Amino acid sequence: DTLKVKHNYQSDVSRLRKIVINSLYSHQEIFLRELISNANDALEKLRLTALTDKSVWDGSDPLNITIKSMKNEDGKGGCLVVADTGIGMTPEELATNLGTLAKSGTSDFLARAEGSTDATATGNLIGAFGLGFYSSFLVADRVEVASLPPATAKNPNPQQHVFTSSADDSTFEVYPDPRGNTLGRGTEITLHLKPDASEYLEDATLSALVHKHSAFSSSFPIYLFERWTEEVPEEIEEVTPSETEATSSETAEVAETPKADADEDEAIVEDVTIEEEAKEPPPPKMVNVTKEQWSHLNKQPPLWARDPKNVTKEEYDLFYTTFFKDFQRPLAWHHFSGDAGSGSAFKALLFFPSKLPEEYWQKPLEYKSKDVKLMVKRVFITSDLGDQALPQWASWVKVVVDAEDLPLNVSRETLQSNRFMRQLRQLIIKRMIQLFTKISEGDDKAQFDKMHETYGSILKLGAVEDEKNREKLAGLARFTSNQRNETSFDQYVENKKKGQKQIFYLAEIGKKPEDLAQSVFIEKLHARGYEVLLLTEPLDEILVGHLRQWKGMPFQDAAKAGLKFGDEDIDPEEEKEQQKTLEENFKPLIEYLKKEAGDAVRDVVLSNRLVKSPCAIVAETGGYTANVAKMMAASNA
């Protein structure tokens, strides 16, 4: 007991645990997904470390996740044990990793969750944030985590330690495991289930949960210890009298963990106990036998490795939410295989989330993709694309890529400068554009609207940022005009008036399109039946500036000089004459105005763009409009 070190939780952890314990009954079941996900991370860490340090793991013992429930003898309640043979934790790591919260966005999350009185909203918030280890307290009164890291040069004789905490404590303890080093390596989490959580003692519940949330996202085998009763003819087993006395359904302890061969279909461990006493010799009699075995729950290949024809939408949704830890279903996905040059075959799954991460627009220049997960033969290698990082506009995409032919021990550094990565980057971008195009051309209007709501600005950013794909991305962007709520550059060109030579637009950031439609600058265009794009988003004008023209038609700012109408129903000679007469007539006024306005304006000219308004102040053709001038000032500040 003197060895037990008591620690106080970091205050954020106490707050988080309170939220968990008080507000989340409907989300109870996520605890298992979170524990499996941690086990998976720990196994991935071990395998990655072993690539450069064989002493950590030489490949001889199995990497797996095991789940076992143990009912109390009185039949009430019990424990659930989730274990992995992963990287484990030292006592210091137990205290830091489980006693502090290092996640980004934690304080924001806590403030919002504590302030909310709406349970569903809190639930959504929590789902999106991911509670990780603390979700254990959704179902457990007390949790024990025993952990043993692998022996290394730095830590040659690791000692198994235990972290324990109760749901209502503000403290936890870390101490050497009195059982000794019982785990070969890894972590074993024992949940003492709350009375209302005893359903998680049932094999069927556990198996269904693993299938629902985790089966196709872990590349390590997940085993469930299953028990069931079967009626068999008595003579199958030779029973000695001492064994027949053991009428309890308790069975002898079986092998600690499943055998290495993960693909074996049949019972790995089987242990038999006779439950009913056999009194009479033949005639053959049936007896109840308790059978048990570690059953391999995720025998199916991971989702991305399956044939898309046999995968349901539901499965894609579930895979996405667990694998990428997003609470909301994806907006769209693309499941494909390919070849990234020199025979590097791969399978990939690409998802558009239905919401962009909050940090994305907050600090777009610092946002780095974490979600292009590269696997080699189902082994996670890296999610860091290094030099081949996706461009800003695409950095939010979620992708899993599994390459068949790369050497497993390829180092992350070589990978990053590798040709495969370069090709992969290109391919991801190509497929993203394809998926955007598919939604644009498809007939799911709701999906189309959602895409433009979520990704409208992304398409414009891409068109500005990515010169190579500028045309394609700009072509997918949608705008409002004085004639249509929604149009594209292509549609604009199709709808042009006879003889029209320019694409007219009017830009003012932050204005509503309907207000822009009232602008004096477009009165005459509007009256003459021309379509004018009403650009209100920050990127619009920059995009138009980068494009300069679309299908041979130059963009023309309606607020600048240089407007050409090009109506064919007006005789150009006649128009010139008219203009001349007008200039003559208005000469005295123009001169008077020039004198009065002085240096405030560069020039005063007779306009042919106004219908109802008496005058307008416009920018020079080559000059900046007020908008761009404002933006430039802001970016220089």
Site residues (vs ligand ADP, CB under 6 A): 34, 38-39, 41-42, 84, 86-89, 97-98, 132-133, 187
At its nearest, how many Å lie between ligand ADP and the CB of residue 98? 6
Nearest CB to Mg ion, comparing residues 38 and 487:
38
CB 397 within 8 A of CB 469: no
Give which of ligand ADP, Mg ion, none residue 158 binds (C-beta under 5 to 8 Å, depending on kind). Answer: none
CB-based closest residue to Mg ion = 132
Q: How many residues bind Mg ion (CB under 5 A)?
A: 2
Q: Rounded to an integer, what distance in angstroms lies between the CA atom of residue 140 and that of residue 78?
A: 10
Nearest CB to ligand ADP, comparing residues 87 and 427:
87
Nearest CB to ligand ADP, comparing residues 183 and 289:
183
Strand ranges in 299-357 using DSSP code E only, listed in sequence order: 332-339, 345-352
Q: Rounded to an integer, what distance in angstroms lies between the CA atom of residue 99 and that of residue 357?
A: 27
At its nearest, how many Å lie between ligand ADP and the CB of residue 299? 22
Question: Structure tokens of 51?
Answer: 């690539």
Residue from 29, 21, 27, 24 nearest 205 by CA: 29
At its nearest, how many Å lie between ligand ADP and the CB of residue 209? 17
Nearest CB to ligand ADP, comparing residues 34 and 371:
34
Q: What is the chain's Cα-based Rg?
A: 34
Give which of Mg ion, ligand ADP, none residue 135 binds (C-beta under 5 to 8 Å, depending on kind). Answer: none
Give which of ligand ADP, Mg ion, none residue 87 binds (C-beta under 5 to 8 Å, depending on kind). Answer: ligand ADP
- Give whole-number Cα distances, 573 to 8, 50, 529, 569, 583, in Å: 89, 83, 22, 12, 15
At its nearest, how many Å lie between ligand ADP and the CB of residue 396? 19
CB 121 within 8 A of CB 109: no
Mapping DSSP to helix (H, G, I), strand (E, B) and coil, where does residue 247 land? coil
Question: Could you tell me which residues are annotated as the binding site?
Answer: 34, 38, 84, 89, 97, 103-105, 187, 412
Question: Structure tokens of 191?
Answer: 């949940």
CB-based closest residue to ligand ADP = 132
Residue from 9, 27, 38, 89 touching Mg ion (CB under 5 A): that is 38
Question: Could you tell me which residues are annotated as the binding site for ATP?
Answer: 34, 38, 84, 89, 97, 103-105, 187, 412
At its nearest, how many Å lie between ligand ADP and the CB of residue 42? 3
At its nearest, how many Å lie between ligand ADP and the CB of residue 168? 19
- How would you class 183 by CB atoms within 10 Å of its CB: exposed for 0-12, middle for 13-18, buried for 19 or more? buried
Nearest CB to Mg ion, comparing residues 123 and 132:
132
Q: Rounded to an integer, what distance in angstroms lies between the CA atom of residue 15 and that of residue 564?
A: 65
- Per CB under 5 A, contacts with Mg ion among 375-394 are none
Helices 119-129/11-23 angle, 10° precision? 130
* Residues shown for the chain: 637
Dihedral (CA of 426, 430, 431, 433) sign: positive
At its nearest, how many Å lie between ligand ADP and the CB of residue 395? 20
Q: Where are the alpha helices (DSSP H) in 61-147?
A: 91-99, 106-115, 119-129
In this structure, what DSSP letter does residue 365 have?
T
Give which of Mg ion, ligand ADP, none residue 39 binds (C-beta under 5 to 8 Å, depending on kind). Answer: ligand ADP
Nearest CB to ligand ADP, comparing residues 222 and 439:
222
Give which of Mg ion, ligand ADP, none residue 124 binds (C-beta under 5 to 8 Å, depending on kind). Answer: none
Helix H or strand E segment including 295: strand 286-296
Nearest CB to ligand ADP, comparing residues 88 and 302:
88
Amino acid at residue number 365: L
Residue from 88, 123, 132, 330 touching Mg ion (CB under 5 A): that is 132
Binding site for Mg ion (CB under 5 A): 38, 132
